[in-house]
Amino acid sequence: MREELAAAIREALEDGAAAAVFLTGEDGTAEPRVARDPSDAAIEKVATGDERYPMAGFVMMLSPLLEGGIAVAGRECDRRMFVELAKHGQVDPDRIRFIGIPCSQELADACGCDHPCPPDSIVACAAGPAQARLVEEATSEDAAERFAFWMDSFSRCIKCMGCRNVCPMCYCKECALDNLELVGPESAPPDIPIFHLIRAVDMADHCVDCGMCEAICPAEIPLRSLYRQAREVVKEAFGYEPGVNPDEKSPIEKLGEVSDLAGMEEGFRTT
Amino acid sequence: MTNETIEDTTEKPAEVADDDVRILAFLCNWCSYAGADLAGVSRMQYPPNVRDIRVMCTGTISPYFVLKAFQEGIDGVLIAGCHIGDCHYGKGNYATAKRFRVLEDLLTSIGVDPRRIRLEWVSAAEGAKFQQVITDFTEQVRQAGRSPLGRKGGGQA
C-alpha cells in the first residue's frame, strides 16, 4: 500500500496542491509531516500501519498558513472530521483533496469502528465493519451502578485537557472548560461530573467517533463510550449522525420547524 | 445571566428542612414567570423548595447551566417556558425542547435519575398549572432523593 499512497501524494502535489499532509514512520511511532515538493524524501516513508492521528485538527491549524489546496492522506474518521469541520466553517472543503487510507480489520476491531473504509480508498478495502461497543459497565441495567461507574471513572481525571486538545471538533477559541464559573479552577481533579458532561453535551452532535480522546487519556477514562452514548441520544431523537452528510446541519444548532419536534413528547403538541 | 446567579440560587431557602430537596426553576420571562406571578397573586400554595431564575427565553438556557446547577448541589431542575407556537421570539422554545431531550437522555444514560429534570410549558394564564407543576415536580424529586451529582450532594442516584 505504501507505493500507491506515495504515488497518490506525489500526484496530488504535481496536480497543483500546495502541500500534502500525511503520517510518516513505522507502526506506533508515526508523526505528521507536510510536504510541498513531490520529490520530498518523506513521501517515500509515508506510514501505512495502524497508527492514527487527528489529521483534520492538524490541517485546520495549518490551512491559514498556506495558500492553495492541501492533499491529506487519512482514514475514514479523518474524512468525517473534514465533513464536520467544513459544516462549521473551520476548513474550506474546496481546498482539501482527500486521499483515503483503508483501515485493517485488526484496527477496525480494536476501535469497534463501523466505518473502516473511506469511500475513495486508494487500494481496495478489505476490512468489514466492526460493532461499535460501549464498555460493559456503561451498559448495566442498574442506573445506580452506571452512575457509580462513571463517577469513579471521572474521578481519575487529572485535568490534563488532552481530550479537548486532541479533539478535532474542539475548535472553539473560547472553551467552556476554561470558564472559571463553570469549572472551578481550584482543584486539579476537576469538578465532576460537570467537566466531563460539558464535553459530552457538546460531542452529542459533533463527535465523529474517531476515538482519539480515549486513546490519549492518561487516566484511561472510557471517553469513547461516553461520547458514543451521547451520539446515540442524538441519533435516536433526530436521526442525525455527525460527519456523514455534508449538507445536513445539526438539528440542535438550528431552530428548525415544529415538525422536527413531532413525537419527542406529548407536551410539545401545538394547539 | 451569569453563573453567580445559579450559585446565589442554590442557597437553601430558610423554610426548607435540611434534608429536603432543593429545586432550581428556569422560568421564561413572558409566560412561565408571569404564570408564577399569577399563582402568587392568586394566593395559590406550593412547596417552598423551588428557587427560580428568570430568563428572557428558555432558548437562552445552555445545558451548561443545568449541569452547573447540579454541580452546585441542586436536586432537581425545572425548565418552564411558553407553549410551542407561543414563544415571543418565534422559535426559541424549539431549541429548548431539542436541547432538553439531549440533556435528559444523556443524563439518563450515565445513570442519573431522569426524575431530577423536567420541561414544562406554562403560559401566563396558567397559574394553577404552575402550582400543579411545582407540587408534582417537588414530590417527584423527593422520591429521587438528594442528588449525588454535586460536591455538596449525597444520597441516591
Per-residue pLDDT tens for A164-211? 999 999 999 999 999 988 988 777 778 889 999 999 999 999 999 999
Please check whether residue B40 touches A, CB under 8 A: no
Of the partner residues A144, A194, A201, the one whose CB lies closest to the CB of residue B111? A144
Residues in B closer than 8 angstroms to A258, CB to CB, are 84-85, 94
**What nine digits make up the cell of A125?**
478495502
Q: Does B94 touch chain A (CB under 8 A)?
A: yes
ipTM (interface pTM) = 0.90
Q: Residue B29: its pLDDT value, please?
A: 96
Question: Which of B7, B72, B102, B112 to probe by mutation at the A interface, max A CB count within 10 Å?
Answer: B102
> What residue of B is the nearest CA neighbor of A200?
B106
pLDDT of residue B152: 43
Which pLDDT belongs to residue B155? 40
Q: Binning pLDDT at 50, 70 and 90, where does residue A16 land?
A: confident
Please answer whether residues B136 and B49 qualify as being in contact, where contact means their C-beta atoms are separated by less than 8 angstroms: no
CA A187 to chain B, closest CA, distance in angstroms equals 12
Decide if A167 contacts A227 (C-beta within 8 A): no
CB–CB contact A265 B91 (8 Å)? no
User: Of the candidates A150, A194, A205, which has its C-beta nearest B68's C-beta?
Assistant: A194
Whether residues A229 and B109 touch (CB distance < 8 A) is answered with yes
Where are the domains positioned within chain B? 23-144
CB contact under 8 A, A147 and B151: no
Whether residue A9 has pLDDT greater than 90: yes
Q: Return the residue of B nearest to A183 by Cα.
A: B68
Task: Report pLDDT for B50.
Answer: 94
Q: Is any Cβ of chain A less than 8 angstroms from the Cβ of B121? A: yes
Dihedral sign for Cα atoms in the order B146, B148, B149, B151: positive
**Three-state SS sequence of chain A:** CHHHHHHHHHHHHHCCCCEEEEEECCCCCCEEEEECCCCCHHHHHECCCCCCCCHHHHHHHHHHHCCCCEEEEECHHHHHHHHHHHHCCCCCHHHEEEEECCCCHHHHHHHCCCCCCCCCECCCCCCCCCCCCCCHHHHCCCHHHHHHHHHHHHCCCCCCCHHHHHCCCCCCCCCHHHCCCCCCCCCCCCCCCHHHHHHHHHHCCCCCCCCHHHHHCCCCCCHHHHHHHHHHHHHHHHCCCCCCCCCCCCCCCCCCCHHHHCCCCHHHCCC
Q: What is the mean pLDDT of chain A?
A: 89
Residue A29 predicted with pLDDT over 50: yes
Chain A nearest CA to B57, separation (Å): 13
Q: What is the dihedral of CA A55, A57, A63, A65, to 10 degrees?
A: -110
| Grid cell for residue A161 | 485537557
| Cell numbers representing residue A104 in the block | 485493517
Rounded distance between C-alpha atoms, residue A172 and residue A186, angstroms = 23
User: What local confidence, expressed as pLDDT, does residue B153 receive?
Assistant: 38
Share of chain B above pLDDT 70, in %: 93
Taking contacts as CB-CB distances below 8 angstroms, the residues of chain B near A271 are 83, 85
Distance CA B82, CA A265 (A): 15
Which residues make Cβ contacts (< 8 Å) with residue A242, sequence separation at least 6?
A80, A84, A169, A205, A206, A207, A208, A231, A234, A250
Between these two residues, B137 and B1, which has the higher pLDDT value?
Answer: B137
Q: Quick one: cell of A145?
A: 451502578
The predicted pLDDT at position B157 comes to: 43
Which 173-192 residues of chain A touch chain B by CB within 8 A?
176, 179, 181-182, 191
CATH of domain B23-144: 3.40.50
Could you say which residues from 6 to 25 on chain B have a Cβ atom under 8 Å away from some Cβ of chain A? none
Length of chain A equals 271
Contacting residues of A for B57, CB less than 8 Å apart: none
Neighbouring residues of A170: CB distance < 8 A, sequence distance ≥ 6: A164
Q: What part of A 78-107 touches B (C-beta under 8 Å)? A: none
In chain B, what residues touch A269 (CB-CB under 8 Å)?
Answer: 84
* Section A99-118 average pLDDT: 91
